[in-house]
Structure formats: structure tokens, C-alpha cells
Structure 1
């Protein structure tokens, strides 16, 4: 019987001792809708405490766990309605939180971030850098070992690029260390707290304001991309004697890690480049600044450690826990304690504290304790050929215990669209699989992580080639005998909600029903409301072509709202009233346009939810409605 991970206390030297798994009964909607205890956990500098973000109703909180006594209830620090996007420890007793809210400017919606400093012992919090009045703030570049000061990048107005400031964490007051410079949006500091560089973009060229050591003036290193190239520089790391690394996709079209000579401005030999996917993360050694770890993601996250000791530890963890992705998410300053997050597509996972010397690993907490991995369904990775020959990656989850043939099927395109799915727990996927459906997640062209060319093939292809990829994937499942062609629905959220509605309109012969949560229905209106939702983070130039394409197609021809009269299949439309990403008027307009038409329309709007279903009970309500909707129009029995 398979070990239930969260019930284990592990020694990486010996077999783990586990509790007996629970009976594999079908989990309830309440199980899938359970909010996580906390997410984004980080270990304190001394390895004694763990901080993670959490919500209690509409109140944001930071939970502080005692790493030495995980059974002890965590201490909650309330933060009101602050939406915490990242946590950084400053010394052993202070937290630096980056919080986000959305604001309107010149008719568009923008995220605005700020720095909040929290004293863990007292729970008191204060705004760090109160002069920050632009969109960008709270970007932590460095914290001193004692947690007294931090270097942060922030804007003093929306018309300035970021400056680098030293923030006194006891008072929140900030002083400028590096003034704003034209087109510099990314600043870098080394492990000694020296501001080493600022990266500027201007059209196809880029330049780096750089210094070798403290006290030197910043000098300019110029770089340039080929004409019509959408190449970019993602980041730098800084080693000794003017050497370091650059993460760029200029050489192969995929982001790789290369040696970089700051004296000559020369990109050198590769440290790591994958033949199919991008590098997604780079970790620098906190003492030397040299790269000691690299993350990339093909079928699942992979970790390449250049540091021999971390490489040995990763191998030990993976041997003890072969069924999960085991990520070293945080380290104490002296590296005597490591925080590990072990999870998989069928297991929401748990956080463990590892002692590298004894190789003993003890669980701190499981974010979703009601989910039993033995009740979940396996997710596999596959590839299929699109009609133009492009190889498309995808994930397929089959109902547990099924023969995997002739199944009722849900096509579930991801949001974004310039993101990708991962081999990780997804409540919607596992819920649908538990109800008897095969769940298919195509990584259609335009999805990120597979290189520049794959992203560019999605430009201007909303409702066109991106939609073709979904249809071609479904044909692959039908041809291989997995899907019953007469029992298919399409379900998605955000861009996935758009693709669901458009699929039902464009190809009603393929789908018995469609469900859209927070879906875009009017592309032209969404462009005016929030252009950033159409841009890939690493591929930012010429954002209009991401949707309309070079030939500037009429977006009304691929917008569900303008084509609502063509809809014939049943649809479920859900939307949060407080959605700042896709305004709720998009969903309401679609429902209104369908009133009195030939389609069977079910709709629900949630007063307390934003782009995701954050409102208490809203996720459970939507899952119940989705289950009833699918049972009526595409029963799995």
C-alpha cells in the first residue's frame, strides 16, 4: 500500500515509517474546496521559525510555525485585506511582505505593490518606504544578516522608473542608494548588499549599468538583439572578479544559463541549456554569488544542483520520495536546516524540515490536510502533433480505477494564456477525474516555458491556431481510444473560460457543453481594460500582436460576445463581482446576450470573489454547480 506522505516522519537513510492509508472512497466537494492552511512558506534565517501566508475569511494573515515543535499551533498575525504575494525574512525576527492591490489608471487596470514590515515577536506591522507612490514597490534585493535594513526597488511616482533605497526596518524610512535611470526596471544587488547593476531596455537594444565593487561608479555595458528578435535577458548573477552569469534566450530561443564577462560584455559558454524547455529559476550561492542551483520544467519541475553537497542531498530526498517533486524552497543562513516542499499532481503535498547532517526530515504542515493522495487520480505527460506538425505537450488525468478507454472527457485549457500548466495538484482536475471524467490539459501554442518560438506561434492566434491545438488534441484522444467523441465538454477559467465559450461557438459538433469561470468574452474591451493580461512576462514587446496578430484581424470575429447568436450548446458562466483582471461586466454582457437565444444558459455571480473564487464557500458552490451541469449535459455514468 502506498505511503501517505503527510503521515510520515522520514529518515533519508532508512525506509520511512507511515500510517495506513485511508479507504479510497470518493472525496466530497468540501474536501476539494477546502482552503489551504497556508501557502508560500519560508524558513527564518536561524532556521527556528516558518512563515506562510493564509486567509481567514476576508482577513489576510501570516502564520508563524515553530520549526522545532510542528505540533504547536501556529501564531497568526492578521494583516487586514492585504494580498501578500511574497515573503522574505530579514534576520531571525522580521518579515518583509510584498502586498498587492489593483488600481485604475487612464482606463486600464494595473497591479500596485507595496512593502510591509512585520515584527514577528509583537505582530506589529508598518509600511516600508512610505514615499513609494508608483505601481512598483517592495521588490527586495537584499537584507542584512541582522534584519536591520533592506535594499528595495520602488517608484516614487508612476512616471519614474524604480530607484534603489535602503529601508530602516525599525522605522520604515527609506533613503535613496541609486537614483532612477531611464528604462531601468530591474536592479540587482550581490550577497554583500552592494548594488551591482541595473538593466535597461530600449527597443531592440539593452544596456547594463554595472559596477564590480562597492564605491565604484556604474559604467555602461551595451547589448543588442537581432532585428525583429523577441529575445530578452531574464536576469544576472554576480560572482567574483567581474564574472557572473546571464539568463537569456538569445542563443537558442530557450532561456539558458551562460557565463558572462562583465568586463567585456561577452556571453560565454553555457552552464545549462535544455533542448526543449526554458530555465525557470537560478539560485546563487549566498557567499560567493556563483550559481549553485538551476530549475527547469519539462514534464515536471527538475532541479540541477552545481553545489556538490546540495546535489547529494537532493538525490537522497528523491530516492526516499520518488513519487513527488521535492523542492528545496528555503534555507537557514548557515544551511543547517532546509525547508522541503514535496508534492505531485495527485498530492497537494507537505512542508518538511530537513537536517542535512542527520538526513532526518520531519513534517511541519500539509496545506490541504483533507486530500488523501490515495483517492486521487494519476496524471501523465504526453505529446501530440497539431495539424501543422507542431508538437504540443499535454497532461492527461484518467479517473482512478478506469480502464482508460472510451471515457467521457473534459478538455481544460489553462488561463493566461501566456503561462503553462504544471505537474502539480489542481483541485479542478482532480475533482473532475473523481467524478469519472478524463481531464485533458493541452499546452497549446503561446504557452510559456517551451521556448521563444513556441510562444511566438501563439501571437495573434486567439480563437484560431490556439483553438486548433485544442481540437487536434481531442482528435488525438479519440484516435487513441481514450475519449468518447460523443461525450466531450470544454471547461476553463480566465483565458480557459474564453477558449471554452469560443470552442462551443466555433465547433458545436465537438462539445456537448461548455463552462467558463471568469472568462474573457469581448477581446477588444479586455484589451482596453487590462492590456497586461495579454502579455507573456518574458516576451513583452509589441503587446498588441499577442492578440490581434500582425495582420490585425477583427477581434469581433473571435469574441464570444459578438458571436453569441451562434451558440447552440449548453453553457455555465461564473464570475466574481470583484474581479480586477477580467471585469465582471464581461460575464454579465455574455449572459445578457444569450438571453432568449437557442443556448441553455446557467449563470452565477459571486459578490465576494475576485478573479479566483476567494469568497468563503464560493469554490464549493461552483464545484457543486459544475458537477450538476456536467451530470445533466454529459453524464459520466
Structure 2
């Protein structure tokens, strides 16, 4: 069993000496790489430097290691490019770069062919409600490009190509391993897509089929013996549909396919059935034969662990991976042939890869010695060969990230390191960035609450600073990690201690911590947020000046902070905030949103409250009910096309505030949805927030 506790030692060694287990050892000696030392500037780093897109969104080596593919913003749009590593790294080839669209994701189909999807990242997040990414295919140098799946409402990037593609309601399900047989045309790479059927906002069926990436011809993918409508599929490395999730009548069912062997025909069996969203485990990796790894809640610790599934016993076996204090968050890393595990990538307070394969373990140690004090994620091709190719993404809490490439001279065997990108966020000087610390504090009822602190550079733990309590959205997500995060770093660069509590109801810290937030909006969840600030003041790191801020649920919490504890906060900034819990959990014929019927039937009643049984509580914990108590300075920010928390929430709150003679600062961004996608809007919003906080905290 692999037991990983915390990554903190890797980074904490710079600031304080109470580290626990460190999987990655590092030392300054033998450094092969270094970053330039940049003199500190007197002026604050501009907001745009924090919120512009990263230099490289994604990079990936081809299966044979000859090519490097990456997405990069050029001319205002994100394109897909490749480098032939047998040639100069300066010789960059364009695979695809559109004038009216951005490439969001891609995968290698063979060692020379890619598939990718397309979004319009410049149109504002409100476009998501009518857009679909499509699917395209091309050679590494852009030749032989094909449209496999149409984009919805976006015919303009066809560039005159014949419309022989599938309709927009098809999504990529599986890319076979290079060289594996799919049973299609000889030598023609195929992928598996699924045809989606919707009822309202709910996906109700997903029919898989093969698509040829050259000819665009399709053929059926036979799944015999399974009559239920399936909403998710898992495929083994041999391209067999091994697992399926069906949903009917408020019940979720996981099915498993036992492949034919020993003269027996293949058959589907039911592995698990439970109420919707309540299955006892979820698949992490599906292999050939009866090989399945699942994540499930440990009966001993209450945290999510990873185990192989024991088909004979009908339950998960003993844990393979545990991360004490955290739910498992990561992945199994599988060999290129899909037959064996190379290691496990886990995220405790920071990401760590625990390698089982000796070659990767040695390589990781070499990279960590070269880049000390960083989290270094490696990808390798021909790892044990003299001409091995290694791609490294390296980052820390103060460094937004760096991409490096190591190649080897086939004649001399000499290894060459090349910096592809020195800084993912040009204009950000890591020496001026804030350090991130992880603490666990006790709430007023004794519950342990994880808290992330982003402390401004050039300050000491003894300094009591003005604070911004930054409340994450979701709320059933995990927010923090030892990595560079734009909003927290931006606020810290302006001199604020940023406090980010993982209040009860947050995911990632055990099932009990998650479920402790059930029906606690505005109540115990809100107390946890307040307790994080009170703790920081008791520790002498926060002074008596504080504002509360956040988006979505974080916006709701910011409003409730002013309502419940006005003595703690001088101001609040709430963006995309839920203001009316009844409208959120019940919906309205008169208000269009994207909350699914499944969510309203099976998730929101348990997590937030039942609109009938808990109506009095939902009304009492709604900011609109207490709008007359929002007397402190308040900033409200909305996306005009938000479908998750429609602008109606904002209008209702402002209307009630005006009845009480109160007027908030009001900002609405046209074309944006539940989040800001346009760079000019993100920068404008950051500058407004900066001015608002400075006015009330400095």
C-alpha cells in the first residue's frame, strides 16, 4: 500500500520547520537549471499579468517521442502547434489556428496524428450555453485536416470543407492506444465517440460508435447484452467497453463486462446500484480482463482511498493508495501499452508522483535535484533508451509554472535541457509572489477546518495584516493547493493576507467533512468562515481590518458574512452570488437556468434543503430576506448571461436593498456567464476589486 501524507516539506522548507513526510527529496547541489534573478520593482505588478491566459495551456509528447504538441495563444487566439524534436525546437509547425475560435484540448491518435476540440474563448462565458466543442483531426503539420464532429451554431470555421461530419451532439469517449487493433480499416486510426440524447438539461443516453479520423466513416460499436440507457462508458486498453453507468428512476447502476474466456461468452453484470449520486465507489482505471481500480470511502478513516476491486467478494479490496487527511485526488499512471502501473499521482496539500517503476523514480529524482523547491510533473518517452525524451512541467506556490524539455544526442548520449517556457504567466516575477501555507484549525464546535493562507511577499509571520477572506464557490469542491493561483496572488500582491477556509461541505477532506455541510448554508458553514478569520486574528497575523469576498457560493457566503457577523467585516464583494435559496433549489418557470432536473431532485434537496420540507429554513438563510442588514459597503458583480445563478438573483437583492435605502456597487458584464472569460473583463473586474478593497481596508 502506498501511503502519502503531505507534500508540504518540498515547499515549506523555505518558511517554517514543521514538515511531515516528504516523498520527494531535494538538494541545492548539482543544479542543472536555474532561473534568472529579477530585481524587485517598486510598482505593483499590473492586474493583466495575473489574469492573462498561460503561455502554454497544455503540452504532450507524441507516443514515439518525436513530436511535441502544445496549445499556445497567438494573435489573440489559442492554436495547436507542434515541434519536430529531430529538428530545431525553433521550427514550430501549425496544426490548427482559427481566426474565430480557440483550441481547448487535444490528444495524439497516432505518433503523427492528433484530434482536438474547439471553443470560442473570446466570446465570453455566456456562449457556453449555445456552443459545443466539435471534434477535428489533422496530421502533426496541419495536413489532411478533417472535421469529425460539428460545432453547434458555429459553421464559420468549416473553411469550405465538406460537411461530412457528425452532428454537434457527439462527444469523444475513447482514444485507442497507438498500434492497437480496432477492427476497422487497416492502418486507419479510429476513435470512439458517443451520440448524446438529452431531456431538458439532463443527459439520458450515450450511444458509442467508431469514427475513422481519416475518412470520417462511422461504424457501430456493438455492446451486446446491455439494454439500459447508458450515460457514461469506460473502455479497457484493448478498446472493449468494460463498464457502464446507467440512470433510471432516481437510481444509478454500474455495470461490468466479463470478457469471453475459457469457452464462456462475455456477459454484463451489475456491480453496484444506489440512489442517484450515491454510488459507494467510482472507477479510477479500467484494465483488461477483470482489472478495475476504484475510489471509495474508507470505513476506517472516512477518507477516499483507491483499491483494486475484488470481483469474488463483490467489493473494493484493501487500499492501494491512501492520503491521510485528504481524499484521494489524482490518477494511476499506466504504461504506454496499458498493461502495468508505473506509479500514482496524488494531491495532498500539493501534488506528488509516487513512482513504482525504477526508471521513472530515478528520472524524478534527477529532475527534482535540478529544480529544487518545486513540484515537477514529468512525461517520458523511450524512458530507458539512450535517446529518451523528457517533458517537465514545474511549478510552486510562488511560480506560475515552467515547461522544460530534455533530449539526448543519439551519438554522444549527452543530455540537453532546453527551456520551452520560462514563465507560464509572463510579467509575473516569482520572487515577488506570496507564499502559500496550509493549516488545520478548530471551529467553534471542535470540527477541524483546513485553511489556506496566502501571505504577501516581504512580510513576516509576526505582522498583522489587513485580510481578505476569500470564500470558494461550489461549494462541494476543494479549492486550495500548494500552487500559484491568480486571484489569491493578486490580492496578496496588494498587501492583503488572503484566508481561504475549506469550510464543512467542501470536498477533498473526507466524506464526513463533506456531509457535515448538508443543509448548513448560512449556518455552520458560515460559522467556519468566520472562525477562520477569528483564528488568524488570534494568531496575530490578521488585524482588525477585513473584507469578505467570493463567487457563486462564495458570493452567497460574502453576503451572509455581512448579515450574520457585520462586526467582523468592513466590506464584501460578491460575484455571481446565490441570493435566493428557494429560487436556487426549486427553480422557476419564469427564470431560465442550467440546473439539471436530476440535480434538483436528488442533490440540492440533500445538500442545500428541500423546497417543501425546509422552506422556512431556506427563506431564513437567503440574503434577499435580510437585504436591509447589508449596510456595509457591498460590491455586486454579475454575468448578464449567467445560467447557473441567473441575474434575477442580483435584481431581487438590489430591489430589496433599495427598499431599505441601500445602494450596492453594481457591475454587470455583457456576454459573460457564471465566470468571466474575456481578458478585458477579468482585468476590469480585478481593478474594480482592487479599488474597492483599498477604499475600505487601507
TM-score range, shorter chain: 0.7 to 0.9
Residue matched to 2:270? 222
SS in 2 for 1:31: helix
SS in 2 for 1:383: strand
What are the Cα deviations for residues 499-556 of structure 1, in whole angstroms up to 9, with x where unaligned?
A: 11221222211110111222222333334323369979xxx95442111169624423
Q: Which moved more, 1:527-536 or 1:89-98?
A: 527-536
Q: CA deviation at 1:628?
A: 1.1
Q: Is contact 1:143-1:150 (8 Å) kept?
A: no
Residue matched to 1:257? 306
Matched, 1:276 2:325: yes
Q: CA deviation at 1:614?
A: 1.9
Residue matched to 1:50? 68
Q: Which has the larger radius of gyration?
A: 2
Matched, 1:193 2:253: no
Q: Is contact 1:524-1:555 (8 Å) kept?
A: yes
C-alpha distance in structure 2 between counterparts of 1:367 and 1:352, whole Å: 11
Residue matched to 1:401? 458
Q: Which moved more, 1:259-268 or 1:221-230?
A: 221-230
Q: Which moved more, 1:50-59 or 1:540-549?
A: 50-59
Residue matched to 2:192? 151
Matched, 1:267 2:316: yes
What are the Cα deviations for residues 101-121 of structure 1, in whole angstroms up to 9, with x where unaligned?
A: 99xxxxx97996643334442
For residues 460-539 of structure 1, what are the structure 2 equivalents within 5 Å? Answer: 460-485=519-544, 487-527=545-585, 528=587, 529-531=593-595
What are the Cα deviations for residues 299-325 of structure 1, in whole angstroms up to 9, with x where unaligned?
A: 112222222222222232223323222
Q: Is contact 1:46-1:334 (8 Å) kept?
A: no
Q: CA deviation at 1:60?
A: 4.9
Q: Which moved more, 1:431-440 or 1:593-602?
A: 593-602
Sort the Cα spacing of 1:256 and 1:355 in 2 relative to 1 into closer, same or farther, 3 A. Answer: farther
Q: Which moved more, 1:379-388 or 1:159-168?
A: 159-168
Q: Is contact 2:238-2:288 (8 Å) kept?
A: no
Structure 2: segments with no counterpart, 5+ residues: 1-10, 12-26, 122-127, 151-164, 180-186, 588-592
Correspondence for 1:427 among 483, 486, 510:
486
C-alpha distance in structure 2 between counterparts of 1:69 and 1:534, whole Å: 52
What are the Cα deviations for residues 244-286 of structure 1, in whole angstroms up to 9, with x where unaligned?
A: 4333336454332222344664532321122322222222223
Correspondence for 1:30 among 39, 48, 52:
48
Count matched residues: 616
Q: CA deviation at 1:362?
A: 2.5
Sort the Cα spacing of 1:220 and 1:34 in 2 relative to 1 into closer, same or farther, 3 A. Answer: closer
C-alpha distance in structure 2 between counterparts of 1:534 and 1:500, whole Å: 28
Correspondence for 1:139 among 173, 187, 194:
173
C-alpha distance in structure 1 between counterparts of 2:273 and 2:190, whole Å: 38
C-alpha distance in structure 1 between counterparts of 2:428 and 2:92, whole Å: 20
Residue matched to 1:168? 212
What are the Cα deviations for residues 312-364 of structure 1, in whole angstroms up to 9, with x where unaligned?
A: 22232223323222123x44487833332111221110122244986654322
Q: CA deviation at 1:498?
A: 1.9
Structure 1: segments with no counterpart, 5+ residues: 3-10, 103-107
Q: Which moved more, 1:332-341 or 1:417-426?
A: 332-341
What are the Cα deviations for residues 379-420 of structure 1, in whole angstroms up to 9, with x where unaligned?
A: 111110112211111110111112332210000011211111
Residue matched to 1:6? none
Q: Is contact 1:142-1:189 (8 Å) kept?
A: no
Q: Is contact 2:470-2:549 (8 Å) kept?
A: yes
Q: CA deviation at 1:17?
A: 4.3
Q: Which moved more, 1:185-194 or 1:202-211?
A: 202-211
Q: Which moved more, 1:297-306 or 1:584-593?
A: 584-593
C-alpha distance in structure 1 between counterparts of 2:131 and 2:222, whole Å: 24
Q: TM-score, normalised by structure 2?
A: 0.79
Q: Is contact 1:244-1:262 (8 Å) kept?
A: no
Matched, 1:306 2:356: yes
C-alpha distance in structure 2 between counterparts of 1:409 and 1:525, whole Å: 32
Q: TM-score, normalised by structure 1?
A: 0.86
Residue matched to 1:545? 606
Sort the Cα spacing of 1:74 and 1:168 in 2 relative to 1 into closer, same or farther, 3 A. Answer: closer
Sort the Cα spacing of 1:438 and 1:310 in 2 relative to 1 into closer, same or farther, 3 A. Answer: same
Sort the Cα spacing of 1:466 and 1:125 in 2 relative to 1 into closer, same or farther, 3 A. Answer: farther
Q: Which moved more, 1:564-573 or 1:170-179?
A: 170-179
SS in 1 for 2:488: helix
For residues 304-343 of structure 1, what are the structure 2 equivalents within 5 Å? Answer: 304-328=354-378, 330-332=379-381, 336-343=388-395
Matched, 1:117 2:137: yes
Q: CA deviation at 1:497?
A: 1.8
Q: Is contact 2:117-2:135 (8 Å) kept?
A: yes
What are the Cα deviations for residues 442-495 of structure 1, in whole angstroms up to 9, with x where unaligned?
A: 11112111122221112222222211110111111011111112x000111222
What are the Cα deviations for residues 118-155 of structure 1, in whole angstroms up to 9, with x where unaligned?
A: 44423634133855665x62233535447711123442
Sort the Cα spacing of 1:569 and 1:71 in 2 relative to 1 into closer, same or farther, 3 A. Answer: farther
Q: Which moved more, 1:277-286 or 1:595-604?
A: 595-604
Matched, 1:614 2:677: yes
Matched, 1:590 2:653: yes
C-alpha distance in structure 2 between counterparts of 1:249 and 1:201, whole Å: 22
Q: Is contact 1:376-1:400 (8 Å) kept?
A: yes
What are the Cα deviations for residues 52-108 of structure 1, in whole angstroms up to 9, with x where unaligned?
A: 445568755334455564445663723466565532111133322345799xxxxx9
SS in 2 for 1:370: coil
SS in 2 for 1:432: helix
C-alpha distance in structure 2 between counterparts of 1:359 and 1:231, whole Å: 49
Q: CA deviation at 1:428?
A: 1.3
C-alpha distance in structure 1 between counterparts of 2:97 and 2:394, whole Å: 27
What are the Cα deviations for residues 150-174 of structure 1, in whole angstroms up to 9, with x where unaligned?
A: 1234425657522222110113333
SS in 1 for 2:649: helix
Q: Is contact 1:258-1:270 (8 Å) kept?
A: yes
Matched, 1:450 2:509: yes
C-alpha distance in structure 1 between counterparts of 2:138 and 2:260, whole Å: 31
Q: Which moved more, 1:457-466 or 1:544-553?
A: 544-553
